[in-house]
């Protein structure tokens, strides 16, 4: 019994030991688990702390980057073209974000279109859908761009001026008329970073506008560009693109050169052959004016024309952008396309064909030009005036602008001189010479145009033989014609070839598409529309002309247009005393950066060196002097046929051409950056450039 009890006692003790062991085991494991858990919590806390620190670092980095961007934008020079009347920085900035809004104060249809125009421009590069609010308050989140028409007119601003205020959280553009708001928007777009020119969304960009106050209005009401669509046809969409480009720089007149020897580009429903026959020539490739005469087997399918529906669409498109279109029907010369359709309108009977770029005029170095083929309408033929009445009736109905341009330039009169009809007309009307014959024609045309409720304007040749009573003059052969017309009380648009012909070469002939004359950027910038001693009230404004004999496509057109188009824009908008060449060129460089992003073409000729050649009077050795239009450029050169870079000899003074040198090669740099094109001058060509003794 005692043994049993002892066994039971041992058993109970064993159980107790077992329980105690389990307890110790569980406690040990609990401690282990607890330690493991505590370690994990500790590690987790460390991770959280690291994440918090990283988040703070990221926030600090983004904040620092934003501040740097804002400061960079604020420190950037203001590069507005054309230069405004007044610009003042205020040290603040405006940020465009996804919560920004455009506000307008009334339901004016034109203001609403301007607001939509701005919203669309901002959407493409930012991806922000900017809402347009009418009569909304500033309450709510997000920055605001406000477009306001003045309740009380500001006399200083006129019809096209504006005030632009940029500050923290709000931009206000005020104007007397919608046109002023539109030009204020163009200035605003130039104040955004250059990435605003992107056609697709740019991610991660800060859309900062520097704090600024601008007061601005144009010097002239007429700020024109002439586009020749006759020599080479440009489509309706290309013309729209041209309009979009010109309004960026506040041009407001598109002079539309619609007819010439190479094509009649506007549908006249009462005279269908003008476009059935007159709109088409033979496609040629090479240098215009030297093409071979087309054969009878070559198809006449190159060219095109605008239907009347196209014209109405272009007029409406231009109007939305505050551009008036001045149509030109060029008569009595430059009429080969019209004569191909209706040969009975010529003084010289025969068969006529639309010119395709082959030679048909002689331009002697001295003496008057003359025609190899008669390309004129006959002033002595009454059918001509019936024809023009039909043309101008339809043109006047299509274009709401107050003026119609009748051309009148470069009329070859050698066929008139031997024509019996002309002799009879001269005797009947007591006309002394061929200039008076043309003046008779111009006066007849003016009456037709006036009868359609329009005023007439023409090239300065219409002065010859006496000026029509109410005609305005477009002065292109220098400023002389404009001076004469203004002194007689006629309205004048200054468009002298010496400053405003944008088809001229803009750099050295060795690297430019060949044209017979040169117009460098600096010369274009010197354009002054009001000649000394002339009452400014007779000068409507100025215009750049883009003739397209040698311009075959839109990329080449842009190359010829910009940056000289900047220079002319500043000459017709900016106060004369505000113009500054050095400041202008720095702004041009900023705008060409924008063109790069917008994938627009432009010329870099302003960075190319200018070369002058002479002969040393003692050694008879060739001498070369080099200079640049733009300040701060270094010129490097070589005579050993290799291509120079900035490690080659730098031009410092007149270069003597080595006796056996074959080529002079030059290039410009600014610091380490290559600026100009590599230019090669064969010594044989340099010799030809030595000025001839008079």
DSSP 165-218: EEETTEEEEEESSHHHHHHHHHHHHHHS-GGGG-SS--TT--EEEEEEEEEE--
Asked if the model's pLDDT at residue 74 lies above 70, the reply is: no
pLDDT confidence of 142, banded at 50, 70, 90? confident
- Token reading at 411: 């009329």
Phi, psi for 95 (deg, rounded to 5): -115, 125
Distance in angstroms (rounded) separating the CA atoms of residues 92 and 37: 54
Candidate list 197, 216, 260, 512, residue with the active-site label: 260
Contact 114, 247 (CB under 8 A): no
**Residue 227 pLDDT > 60:** yes
Burial class from Cβ neighbours inside 10 Å (0-12, 13-18, 19+) for residue 133 reads middle
Residue 73 has pLDDT above 70, yes or no: no
The pLDDT tens digits for 299-314 are: 999 999 999 999 999 9
Cα dihedral 18→23→27→33 (10° resolution): 70
Cα–Cα distances in Å, from 135 out to 101, 146, 148?
A: 12, 10, 10
Task: Give the whole-angstrom CA distance, residue 263 versus residue 330.
Answer: 11
Check pLDDT > 60 for residue 95.
Answer: yes
- Flag the least confident range among 4-18, 446-460, 470-484: 4-18
Compute the mean pLDDT over every residue in the chain, rounded to the nearest whole number: 91
Query: What pLDDT score was predicted for residue 67?
Result: 54
Helix axes 554-561, 564-573, angle to 10 degrees: 50
Greater pLDDT, 366 or 497: 497
Q: Is 257 a catalytic residue?
A: no
Six-digit token string for 198: 């992107």
Average confidence (pLDDT) over 648-668? 97
Q: What is the mean pLDDT of residues 214-221?
A: 98
**Residue 68 scores a pLDDT above 60:** no
Q: What is the mean pLDDT of residues 433-453?
A: 97
How many Å apart are CA 150 and CA 164, to the nearest integer? 13
Provide the pLDDT for residue 531: 96
- Which pLDDT tens digit goes with each residue over 539-561? 999 999 999 999 999 999 999 99
pLDDT for 672 beyond 70: yes
- Tens digits of residue pLDDT in 9-61: 444 444 455 445 544 544 444 444 444 545 454 555 556 566 666 655 555 54
Is the pLDDT reported for residue 4 higher than 50? no
Tokens for 620, please give them.
């008879």
pLDDT at 45: 57
User: What is the C-alpha separation between 476 and 463, in angstroms, rounded?
Assistant: 12
Per the annotation, the verdict on 260 as an active-site residue is: yes
Which positions ≥6 away from 475 have C-beta within 8 Å?
Answer: 460, 481, 482, 483, 485, 492, 493, 494, 495, 496
Contact criterion met (CB below 8 Å) for 439 and 379: no
Parallel, antiparallel, or unpaired: how do β-strands 222-228 and 539-546 relate?
A: parallel
Q: What are phi and psi of 166, to 5 degrees?
A: -115, 125
Residues 570-599 have pLDDT tens digits of: 999 999 999 999 999 999 999 999 999 999
Buried residues in 539-559 as b, exposed as e (16+ CB within 10 A): bbbbbbbbbbbbbbebeebbb
Of 298, 313, 409, 410, the catalytic one is 410
Selected residue with higher pLDDT from 135 and 85: 85
C-alpha 165/C-alpha 94 separation (Å) is 10
Query: Rounded to whole angstroms, how far apart are CA atoms 261 and 541?
Result: 28
Q: What pLDDT sits at residue 497?
A: 98
Distances (CA, A) of 243 to 182, 227, 317, 569: 14, 10, 9, 14
Euclidean distance between CA atoms 526 and 222, whole angstroms: 18
Peptide bond into 615 cis (omega under 30): no
Per-residue pLDDT at 106: 81
* DSSP-based three-state secondary structure for 68: helix
* Angle at CA of residue 235, ends 232 and 241, nearest 5°: 110
| Residue 334 annotated as catalytic | yes
- Residue 7's pLDDT is 41
| Terminal CA-CA length for the chain | 156
162: nearest Cα among 573, 580, 566, 577: 573
Least confident of 133-142, 246-255, 289-298, 414-423: 133-142
Residues 6+ apart with CB under 8 A from 232: 262, 548, 549, 551, 552
Q: How far apart are CA 264 and CA 458, in angstroms?
A: 18
Give yes or no for residue 160 having a pLDDT over 90: yes
Predicted local distance difference test score (pLDDT) of residue 660: 95
List the single range of 132-136, 168-172, 190-194, 667-671 with lowest mean pLDDT.
132-136
499 closest CA partner among 564, 592, 573: 564
Question: CA 504 to CA 513: how far, in whole Å?
Answer: 9
Percent of the chain residues topping a pLDDT of 70: 88
Calculate the dihedral angle through the C-alpha atoms of 47, 51, 57, 60, rounding to the nearest 10 degrees: -150
- Amino acid 14: pLDDT: 44
Give alpha helix (H) positions in 76-194. Answer: 109-126, 178-191
What local confidence, expressed as pLDDT, does residue 156 receive? 95
Q: CA-based Rg of the chain, rounded to a whole angstrom?
A: 36
* Strands across the sheet containing 622-628: 609-615, 622-628, 655-656
- The beta strand positions in 462-528, using DSSP E, are 472-475, 492-494
pLDDT given for residue 26 in this prediction: 44
Q: Report the predicted TM-score, pTM, of the whole model to 2 decimal places.
A: 0.89
**Stretch among 32-36, 165-169, 443-447 having the lowest mean pLDDT:** 32-36
Give the E-state strand segments of 49-136 in sequence order.
Answer: 86-96, 101-104, 132-134
Higher local confidence (pLDDT), 470 or 208: 208
| Distinct helix (H) and strand (E) counts, the chain | 18, 28
Residue 367 pLDDT grade (very low, low, confident, very high; cuts 50, 70, 90) = confident
Q: CA 445 to CA 447: how far, in whole Å?
A: 5
Whether 65 has a pLDDT exceeding 90, the answer reads no
Q: In angstroms, rounded to a whole number, what is the distance separating the alpha carbons of residues 497 and 474? A: 11
Distance between CA atoms of residues 437 and 444, nearest Å: 11
Catalytic one among 334, 405, 490, 591?
334
- Residue 107 clears pLDDT 90, i.e. is over it: no
Going by pLDDT thresholds of 50, 70 and 90, the confidence category of residue 1 is very low
Sign of CA dihedral 109, 111, 115, 118: positive
């Amino acid at each position: 019994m005692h043994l049993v009890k002892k066994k039971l006692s041992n058993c109970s003790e064993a159980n107790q030991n077992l329980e105690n062991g389990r307890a110790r085991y569980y406690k040990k494991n609990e401690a282990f688990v607890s330690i493991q858990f505590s370690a994990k919590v500790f590690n987790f806390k460390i991770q959280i702390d690291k994440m918090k620190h990283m988040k703070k670092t990221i926030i600090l980095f983004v904040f620092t980057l934003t501040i740097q961007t804002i400061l960079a934008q604020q420190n950037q020079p203001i590069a507005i073209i054309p230069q405004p009347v007044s610009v003042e920085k205020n040290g603040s900035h405006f940020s465009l974000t996804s919560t920004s809004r455009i506000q307008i104060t009334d339901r004016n249809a034109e203001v609403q279109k301007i607001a939509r125009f701005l919203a669309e421009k901002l959407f493409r590069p930012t991806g922000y859908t900017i809402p347009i609010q009418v009569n909304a308050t500033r309450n709510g989140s997000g920055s605001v761009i406000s477009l306001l028409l003045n309740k009380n007119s500001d006399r200083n601003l006129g019809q096209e001026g504006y005030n632009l205020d940029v500050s923290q959280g709000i931009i206000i553009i005020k104007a007397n008329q919608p046109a002023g708001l539109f030009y204020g928007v163009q200035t605003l777009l130039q104040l955004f970073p250059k990435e605003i020119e992107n056609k697709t969304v740019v991610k991660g960009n800060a859309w900062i506008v520097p704090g600024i106050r601008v007061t601005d209005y144009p010097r002239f009401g007429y700020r024109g560009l002439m586009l020749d669509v006759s020599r080479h046809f440009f489509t309706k969409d290309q013309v729209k693109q041209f309009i979009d480009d010109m309004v960026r720089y506040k041009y407001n007149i598109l002079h539309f050169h619609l007819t010439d020897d190479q094509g009649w580009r506007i549908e006249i429903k009462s005279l269908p052959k003008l476009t059935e026959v007159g709109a088409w020539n033979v496609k040629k490739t090479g240098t215009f004016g030297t093409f071979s005469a087309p054969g009878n087997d070559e198809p006449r399918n190159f060219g095109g024309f605008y239907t009347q529906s196209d014209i109405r669409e272009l007029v409406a498109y231009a109007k939305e952008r505050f551009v008036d279109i001045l149509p030109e029907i060029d008569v009595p010369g430059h009429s080969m396309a019209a004569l191909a359709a209706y040969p009975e309108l010529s003084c010289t009977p025969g068969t006529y064909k639309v010119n395709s770029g082959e030679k048909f005029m002689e331009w002697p170095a001295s003496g008057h030009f003359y025609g190899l083929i008669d390309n004129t309408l006959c002033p002595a033929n009454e059918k001509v005036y019936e024809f023009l009445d039909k043309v101008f009736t339809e043109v006047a109905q299509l274009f709401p602008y107050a003026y119609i341009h009748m051309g009148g330039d470069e009329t070859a009169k050698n066929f008139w001189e031997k024509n019996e009809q002309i002799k009879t007309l001269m005797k009947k009307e007591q006309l002394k010479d061929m200039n008076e014959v043309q003046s008779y024609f111009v006066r007849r045309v003016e009456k037709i145009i006036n009868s359609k409720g329009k005023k007439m304007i023409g090239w300065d040749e219409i002065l010859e033989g006496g000026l029509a009573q109410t005609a305005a003059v477009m002065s292109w052969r220098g400023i002389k014609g404009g001076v004469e017309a203004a002194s007689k009380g006629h309205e004048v648009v200054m468009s002298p070839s010496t400053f405003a012909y944008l088809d001229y070469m803009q750099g050295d002939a060795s690297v430019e598409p060949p044209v017979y004359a040169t117009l460098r950027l600096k010369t274009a910038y010197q354009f002054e529309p009001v000649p000394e001693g002339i009452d400014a009230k007779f000068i409507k404004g100025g215009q750049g002309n883009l003739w397209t004999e040698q311009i075959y496509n839109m990329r080449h057109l842009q190359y010829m247009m910009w940056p000289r188009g900047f220079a002319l824009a500043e000459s017709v908008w900016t106060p004369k005393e505000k113009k500054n060449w050095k400041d202008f060129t720095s702004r041009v460089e900023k705008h060409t950066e924008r063109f790069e992003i917008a994938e627009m073409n432009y010329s870099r000729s302003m960075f190319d060196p200018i070369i002058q050649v002479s002969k040393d009077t003692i050694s008879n050795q060739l001498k070369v002097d080099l200079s640049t239009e733009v300040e701060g450029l270094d010129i490097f050169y070589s005579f050993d046929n290799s291509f120079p870079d900035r490690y080659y000899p730098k031009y410092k003074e007149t270069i003597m051409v080595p006796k056996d040198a074959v080529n002079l090669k030059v290039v410009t740099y600014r610091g380490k950056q290559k600026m100009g094109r590599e230019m090669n001058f064969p010594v044989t060509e340099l010799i030809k450039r030595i000025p001839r003794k008079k």
